[in-house]
Structure 1
Amino acid sequence: MLKEFKQFIARGNVIDLAVGVIIGVTFTATVQSLVKNLINPLIGLFVGKIDLSDLTLKVGDANFKYGSFLNSVINFLIIAFVVFLIVKVVNKFTRKEKAPAAPTEVEYLKEIRDLLKEKEAK
């Protein structure tokens, strides 16, 4: 069982996934910092508040923290846009391999002819 576990961990997919998760976590922290320290103050110039997470709507005894939700939406949009740009750049530089052309009838007939000649020669 330990041997199977070592083989499982040694596969590239598991390691690639771990690296992807680590990069994703650090990327998310970077985007959250960007939103908190740069974008929120910019929006705050127009809204009048720098920290959007303080925005709440009180209905009865319930407090709706729509400012925190706005922060999450901004984070999501930035992350989605950056991922879109990364995928677009990667797709631009990744060359697609051309599939080999399917043999034509003439090529098949030539193969059959050559095989028949080989068989007759034996």
Structure 2
Amino acid sequence: MFKEFKIFIMRGNVVDLAVGIVIGAAFGAIVNSLVKDVLMPPIGLLLGNVDFGNLFIVLKEGAIGGPYESLLVAQTAGAVTINYGVFINALINFLILAMAIFFFVVRPLNQLAARQKSKEAVIPAQTDKKDCPYCATQIPLKASKCPYCTSELM
């Protein structure tokens, strides 16, 4: 049973998947930091010092009544909130991550596949067969007589 598991794990696609997940998680952290620490502060500043992480709607006040200065204060008080600012941050994270994956992974792979396909179309396949001029059957290139129609070949 252990040998089968070892064979399964050592297959290329499983290892590739594991590496992809680790790199994807690290890349996700980079994008998250980019959005949270680099992009959102200037956007918030342009919109009048808005901190998107603190945009929320109180559905039900907590033990301590509102208004609440921040999302953390509201959650500490036990208020039930809709955190649409956190959602906006997550949405921007997703869009940046999706664009990065598209432009740095999907698009280059599609271009590579198209280039490879065009090379295959240009280079004819080398073969050791030819068509019989009488019956159009594939026969060996060195044949002097067609084995199907028995015609003499030149």
Instruction: Identify the residue that residue 92 of structure 2 maps to in structure 1.
Output: 74
Larger helix percent: 1
CA RMSD, Structure 1 to Structure 2 (Å): 2.7
Of all paired residues, the percent bearing the same amino acid is 44
Gaps of 5+ in 2: 62-79, 140-144
Report if the CA contact (8 A) 2:55-2:84 is conserved. Answer: yes
Q: Distance in 1 between matches of 2:25 and 2:14?
A: 17
Computing the radius of gyration from Cα coordinates, the structure with the larger value is 2
Matched, 1:107 2:125: no
Q: Distance in 2 between matches of 1:115 and 1:55?
A: 82
Q: Distance in 2 between matches of 1:66 and 1:78?
A: 18
Deviation at 1:114, TM superposition (A): 2.6
Q: Which residues in structure 2 correspond to 1:18-97 (within 5 Å)?
A: 18-49=18-49, 51-61=51-61, 62-86=80-104, 87-94=106-113, 95-97=115-117
Gaps of 5+ in 1: none
Report if the CA contact (8 A) 1:52-1:70 is conserved. Answer: yes
1:96 aligned partner, one-letter code = Q
SS at match of 1:63: strand
2:84 aligned partner, one-letter code = Y
1:33 aligned partner, one-letter code = S
TM-score, structure 2 normalization: 0.64
SS at match of 2:138: helix
2:109 aligned partner, one-letter code = V
